[in-house]
Amino acid sequence: MNADSPAPLGTGVASPGNGPGAKTRTFLRRLASSVLLWSAVLLALFSKHPTVAQWIFLAIMVVLAGAGLMEFYGLAQKRGLPCFRGCGLAGGLLLMVGTFLHCTGQLGIHGTPARVNDFETSFLIVFVLGLAVRLLVAGPTGHGLPALAVSLLGLMYVPWLLNFIQKIHFFPGIDHLGKYYVLYFIVVTKLSDTGAYVVGSLCGRHKLAPRLSPGKTWEGLVGALGLSTAASLTLAAVLGNHLPGMNGVHALILGLLLGAGAVVGDLIESLLKREAGVKDSGRWFPGIGGLLDLLDSLLFNAPLMYLYLRHVLTRP
């Protein structure tokens, strides 16, 4: 991210050249874009028609995965790195749909997290072998190895990480309450982004990672952790039994974990954009940029939430 660009939601402070009014307008545009998109996701989750809700949820996840993956490959190509865009996109969408079919039992193989994880592992193996065969058929080109590596990294950074949201939603053994953990995870993560931006904009002075993103500050990090922890404790109290295994201690730990994870995820995407020499990954959302700018913190936090749910909250 350029030093003279406003910080994305959840990064810290905006550029010094922006006045308070500009910062407020930027914040409101970003907040509105985030609220509209994630409200659509949550409406699909809590629809009164479960089957319809599941397919709408899948459609949203597929669109996010596909568009986000294309943005990633676009960033790589701006850096001069080759990739197999078509193969990567097809692989990413098949991964999302295949996981959905496994999680919902429509392939007759479901019931434990290990089953879905085995499918994902098998899929990634087949994807790599398929790209290797493609390289073999094409013959020496001088850029086959980096193209394979970038294609695989894109698949794992966007669809594979986003897939953890599906696995949280359809987590077995908790009486179809996984959607409440998706709600919890999204709200805590995005409020972490909000806390970082607001606190960083108001009183950010000390740079957190100036080489990656000059707008991010330690004060913004404190704001992220504070608001994410408060949101986690509040949701744990409000949702109560709808969050199996949750208590005050877990809410505190997850609030801090997801708050820190959101900042790290934002930094990772800032690094990718800096490598590509662009300010935003795209122009989908006013005040935010592209889908990766919106998904960065969620992509990093989704596996953290899933692993904590599987190995801590639901551990026998």
Model confidence at 16: pLDDT above 60: no
Q: What is the pLDDT of residue 125?
A: 96
Is residue 284 very low, low, confident or very high in pLDDT (cuts 50, 70, 90)?
Answer: low
Sign of the Cα pseudo-torsion (70, 12, 18, 285, in order) = positive
Mean pLDDT value of segment 27-47: 78
Q: How far is CA 197 from CA 57, 88, 166, 171, 240, in A?
A: 29, 33, 28, 32, 29
3-state percent helix, strand, coil for the chain, nearest multiple of 5: 70, 5, 25
Asked if 127 contacts 149 with a C-beta cutoff of 8 angstroms, the reply is no
Mean pLDDT value of segment 80-106: 93
pLDDT in tens, 260-279: 999 999 999 888 888 888 77
> Which residues lie closer than 8 Å to 249 by C-beta, 6 or more apart?
none
Which of the two residues, 88 and 212, has the higher pLDDT score? 88
List the single range of 153-167, 230-244, 272-286 with lowest mean pLDDT: 272-286
List the single range of 15-19, 133-137, 216-220, 222-226 with lowest mean pLDDT: 15-19
Return the SS3 of 171. Answer: coil
Query: Which amino acid, residue 194?
Result: T
Q: In angstroms, rounded to a whole number, what is the distance separating the alpha carbons of residues 248 and 251? A: 5
Nearest CA to 58 among 163, 150, 175?
163
Average pLDDT of the chain, as a whole number: 86
Mean pLDDT value of segment 12-33: 60
Mean pLDDT value of segment 70-88: 93
Q: What is the pLDDT of residue 23?
A: 66
List the single range of 100-104, 112-116, 161-165, 194-198 with lowest mean pLDDT: 112-116
> Which residues lie closer than 8 Å to 44 by C-beta, 6 or more apart?
53, 56, 57, 60
Q: In angstroms, rounded to a whole number, what is the distance separating the alpha carbons of residues 191 and 44? A: 21
Question: Taking the domains of the chain in order of start, what are their residue ranges?
Answer: 20-313
Model confidence at 124: pLDDT above 60: yes
Q: In angstroms, rounded to a whole number, what is the distance separating the alpha carbons of residues 70 and 219? A: 33
Nearest CA to 154 among 231, 82, 33, 72?
72
Q: In angstroms, rounded to a whole number, what is the distance separating the alpha carbons of residues 315 and 241? A: 16
Q: What is the pLDDT of residue 96?
A: 97
Model confidence at 2: pLDDT above 60: no
Residue 49 class from Cβ within 10 Å (0-12 exposed, 13-18 middle, 19+ buried)?
exposed
Mean pLDDT value of segment 208-226: 90
Model confidence at 11: pLDDT above 60: no
End-to-end CA, the chain? 45
Query: Which amino acid, residue 183?
Result: L
Q: What is the pLDDT of residue 9?
A: 35
| Entry field: residues in the chain | 316
The residue behind tokens 């009486």 is 175
Asked if 70 contacts 85 with a C-beta cutoff of 8 angstroms, the reply is yes
Asked if 1 contacts 215 with a C-beta cutoff of 8 angstroms, the reply is yes
Q: What is the pLDDT of residue 35?
A: 78
Model confidence at 45: pLDDT above 60: yes
Does the predicted TM-score (pTM) go above 0.85? Answer: yes
Is residue 19 very low, low, confident or very high in pLDDT (cuts 50, 70, 90)?
Answer: low
Mean pLDDT value of segment 124-136: 95
Q: What is the pLDDT of residue 306?
A: 97
Asked if 252 contacts 235 with a C-beta cutoff of 8 angstroms, the reply is no
Q: What is the pLDDT of residue 87?
A: 96
Q: Residue 49 corresponds to which tokens in the numbers above?
A: 């028609």
List the single range of 89-93, 136-140, 256-260, 310-314 with lowest mean pLDDT: 136-140
Q: In angstroms, rounded to a whole number, what is the distance separating the alpha carbons of residues 173 and 236? A: 19
